Amino acid sequence: MDVELLIGIFPQVLLDGIILGFMYALIALGYTMVYGVLEFINFAHSEIFIFGAFVGVEILLGLKSVGLLDGLPWPLVLLLVLAAGMASSGLLAVTVERIAYRPLRGAPRLIPLISAIGISFFLQDMIRLFESLWHNAFNLVYPTMDVLNQRFELTETIDVSVKSLVVIGAALLMLWALYLIVNRTKVGTAIRAVAEDQAAASLMGIDVNRIISLTFLIGGAMGGAAGVLFGVQYGLINPYSGFIPGLKAFTAAVLGGIGNIPGAMLGGLVLGLLEAFAAAYLSLLTNGAFGAEYKDILAFSILILILIFRPKGLLGEIVRERA
């Protein structure tokens, strides 16, 4: 076992873990916020996430085809793409809520869950349909912007791409903005109130339906931002790429305590780091016996174990069933 190698790759793995973690955190926020106000798992959130990525790629491809991509300053392009991704994902989330979840609000819990699964599948193929007709391809590659591919040397052995720094920076900004919204604005307080006790909140004069829509909007927007960053960071997307990251982000949300916003951020980071280390070291340590795909099993196993042994997660609370 080449210990030097193991230590040598550590910083890179750490970085990968952080990036992955922030991305999971952003997606996890969508799950956790919706669960907080409705006690409902928005299964379709993984598609809302990847939808943002597709909006992003379409804009970039569009800019590229008119030759503007390299002409415009890259922060502007990034801002544009992020804003578009967030807006469209947010709106998609609100629409889905209106059409597929609101009519089912009173029904037994399994019914909206199944509806959400249906929407998830439907959206996957809708994106495929659209892209097949528009580009005759649904595996799309994010156009690169050369400036983002430049690498900085931090130390002798570690270098990091501008892209990675940008992704981390954007993610941090999003998380901070969300924190401010939820904790420092009236809207945020209303959301927390509805999450706490819907009946009481409505008695206080809060329009619960509006707040729920807003929650979907914000959660969706976070997912959309994550989608754009995902596309920028990893380059290749297809309509089905949302499923696994979505499931993992849900794991992160549960890990942190479903319904708990700081929990989602913490869970995302923990899961991202665990996964990055598993992906890098598992293979090395076992001489290739356990390949990188086992990192997926790691995430699912964590999910299963938490739900069985500590469903409240790291920061959450237990909901007790009354006899």
Partner 1 sequence: MIHSLIAVAVLALSAFAVATFPRSVLVFLLFQGSLLFVYKARIPERLRWGLLAIALLVLMPAIGYFNSYYLEVATQVGIFVALALGLNIVVGLAGLLDLGYVAFFAVGAYSWAIFGSPHANIIFGGEGFPLAGWWFYVFLFVGLGTAAVTGILLGLPVLRLHGDYLAIVTLGFGEVIRVLANNLDKPINLTNGPKGITPISRPPTPFGMPYGEYFYFLALAIVIAVIIANRRLEDSHIGRAWEAIREDELAARSMGVPLVRMKLMAFACGASFAGVMGVLFSAKQVFINPESFTFLESIGVLAMVILGGMGSIPGAIVGATVVTVLNLQVLKGFSLWLNELKNAGVTIFGFSLADLPTQFEPAKYERMVFGIILVLMMIFRPQGIFPARRRQRELAH
Interaction site with partner 1 (CB under 8 A): 40-41, 100, 103-104, 107, 109-115, 117-126, 128-129, 132-133, 135-138, 243, 247, 250, 288-291, 293-294, 296-297, 300-301, 303-304, 307-308, 311, 323
Query: Smallest distance from the beta carbon of 212 to partner 1, in angstroms?
Result: 18
Instruction: Tell me how far, at minimum, the Cβ of 165 lies from partner 1, in Å.
Output: 32
Which is nearest to 9 in space by CA: 295, 283, 290, 280?
Answer: 280
Tokens representing residue 209 in the block: 């339906």
In the complex, least distance from residue 243 CB atom to partner 1, rounded to whole angstroms: 7
Structure-token pair, residue 96: 């889905």
Based on CB atoms, which residue is closest to partner 1, 111 or 187?
A: 111
Helix (H, G, I), strand (E, B) or coil at 282: helix
Q: How far is the CB of 35 from partner 1 (least distance, A)?
A: 9
Write the burial class of residue 12 (CB in 10 Å: 0-12 exposed, 13-18 middle, 19+ buried): middle
Q: How far is the CB of 252 from partner 1 (least distance, A)?
A: 13
Which of 200, 304 has the CB closer to partner 1?
A: 304
Alpha helices in 100-145 (DSSP H): 110-135
Cβ proximity to partner 1: between 124 and 241 the closer is 124
Q: Which residue do the tokens 């990055």 mark?
A: 276
> Which residue's CB is nearer to partner 1, number 27 or number 228?
27
Q: What is the DSSP string of 33-50?
A: HHHHHHS---TTHHHHHH
d(CA 292, CA 281): 9
Closer to partner 1 by CB, 10 or 312: give it. 312
Q: From the CB of 285, what's the least distance to partner 1, in Å?
A: 13
Q: For partner 1, which is the closer residue by CB, 80 or 111?
A: 111
Vertex 140: Cα angle to 143 and 98 (nearest 5): 110
